[in-house]
Amino acid sequence: MNQNLEIEPARLLGIRVYPDPILKQVCEPVTEVTDEIRTLIQNMFLTMYENGGVGLAANQVGVTKRIFVMDTSNSGAKRQAFINPEIIESSDIERYKEGCLSFPGIFAYVKRPTKIKIRALNENGEVFELYLQGLDAVCAQHEIGHTIGETFYDQLSPLQKNLIKKKISKLKK
């Protein structure tokens, strides 16, 4: 029997901007990787690419699920989805200049481990582990932060936070 299944085209999602309260919510684990989750992931990739990002967490597009996508390659070569991610090892710490799609035009230096091992589910619901370093490790940690209700802003010193608040106020005017 031939069924014509309608494939929904990928669509851009709206990015939530600080101080949207959803950015502070701890996201719920995904209990089953469904077609709905896979569609969300595809839409997240499209949204991330269209906005010039290298990572995007589900709560940044209004969905409180423990999911993030990232691609640090500028070519789609490192395109990866992480469902229920957790860091299981980390080492070395350095400062990296970070930005965030939920803080448009804002950048700040954040201290993070430069090498991590992460465990997550892929889009097929299979567990995988991956060693990441440098920008890949920083990006993954930044996005995992989103899934637990933290932003890079939460990692900053009081002085840095004050400077960011001033920049945000200027951008809103």
Active site positions, annotated: 143
Which of 46, 35, 118, 112 is CA-nearest to residue 82?
A: 118
**Contact (CB, 8 A) for 30 and 83:** yes
Q: Which two tokens stand for residue 151?
A: 């932003």
My answer on whether omega of the bond before 19 falls inside 30° of 0, hence cis, is yes
Distance from the Cα of residue 122 to its chain's centroid = 15
